Amino acid sequence: MPFSAVLAWPAVDGLARAALEATTTESLPFGEWAAGLEQNWLVVALIVAGSILLARLVHWVSGRYLDGEHAETTFGRAALAEIDTPGAITIGLLGVYLSLLVLDLLESTPVVAGLIATALILLWARASIRIGRRWIEFLQAGESNYEFAPMFANLWTITVAVGAVLLLLSVWDVQLTPFLASAGILGIVVGFAAQDAISNLIGGVALYFDNTYKIGDVIRVDDEMRGTVTDVGIRSTTVLTEDNLLVTVPNAVLNSTQVVNESAPQRHMRLRIPITAAYGTDHELVEELVLEVCEECPLVRDTPMPKLLFLEFGDSALVFELRVFVNHPLIERRAIDRINRGVYEAFNEGDITIPFPQRELSFLEETGREHRFEERLADDSSATADAEAAGEPSEVSPDVDE
C-beta separation of 127 from 86 below 8 A: yes
Answer yes or no: is pLDDT of 395 > 60: no
Residues 6+ apart with CB under 8 A from 107: none
The per-residue pLDDT for 19 is 39
265: preceding bond cis by omega (within 30 degrees) = yes
Answer yes or no: is pLDDT of 385 > 90: no
List residues bridging with 231 in a β-sheet.
238
The per-residue pLDDT for 372 is 58
- Helix (H), strand (E) at residue 202: helix 195-210
More confident residue, 83 or 182: 83
User: What's the 3-state SS for 147-158?
Assistant: CCHHHHHHHHHH
The per-residue pLDDT for 288 is 95
- Rounded Cα–Cα distance for residues 81 and 138 (Å): 14
Answer yes or no: is pLDDT of 51 > 90: no
Architecture of the domain made up of 269-349: 2-Layer Sandwich (3.30)
- Rounded Cα–Cα distance for residues 36 and 34 (Å): 5
User: What is the arithmetic mean of pLDDT over 143-162?
Assistant: 75
Q: Tell me the backbone φ, ψ of residue 300, rounded to 5 degrees.
A: -95, 135
Q: What is the pLDDT of residues 356-372, one digit of tens each?
A: 877 777 776 665 555 55
Answer yes or no: is pLDDT of 1 > 70: no
User: What is the arithmetic mean of pLDDT over 80-100?
Assistant: 87
Answer yes or no: is pLDDT of 227 > 50: yes
Binned at pLDDT 50, 70 and 90, residue 137 comes out as confident
Distances (CA, A) of 265 to 28, 178, 212, 213, 269: 87, 53, 11, 10, 10
The per-residue pLDDT for 35 is 57
The per-residue pLDDT for 103 is 81
Q: Which range has highest mean pLDDT (101-115, 126-140, 317-331)?
A: 317-331
One-letter identity of residue 19 = A
Q: Whole-model pTM?
A: 0.54
- What is the torsional sign of CA 45, 50, 51, 53? positive
Binned at pLDDT 50, 70 and 90, residue 70 comes out as low
The per-residue pLDDT for 45 is 84
C-beta separation of 294 from 300 below 8 A: yes
Residues 6+ apart with CB under 8 A from 329: 218, 262, 263, 267, 269
Where does 299-400 have alpha helices with state H?
332-349, 381-390
The per-residue pLDDT for 9 is 37
Alpha carbon dihedral 204, 209, 212, 217, in 10-degree steps, equals 80
Q: What percent of the chain has pLDDT over 90?
A: 32
Q: Tell me the backbone φ, ψ of residue 323, rounded to 5 degrees.
A: -120, 115
Answer yes or no: is pLDDT of 269 > 70: yes
User: What is the arithmetic mean of pLDDT over 86-114?
Assistant: 85
Cα 365 to the chain's mean position, in Å? 72
Q: Which range has highest mean pLDDT (21-30, 192-201, 210-219)?
A: 210-219
Domain 189-261, CATH: 2.30.30.60
Q: Which range has highest mean pLDDT (70-84, 313-327, 386-400)?
A: 313-327
Lowest mean pLDDT among 46-55, 174-183, 261-270: 174-183
Boundaries of every domain in the chain = 22-171, 189-261, 269-349, 370-402
Binned at pLDDT 50, 70 and 90, residue 124 comes out as very high
Angle subtended at Cα 104 by Cα 98 and Cα 109, rounded to the nearest 5 degrees = 85
Burial class of residue 351 in the structure, from the number of CB atoms within 10 Å of its CB (0-12 exposed, 13-18 middle, 19+ buried): exposed
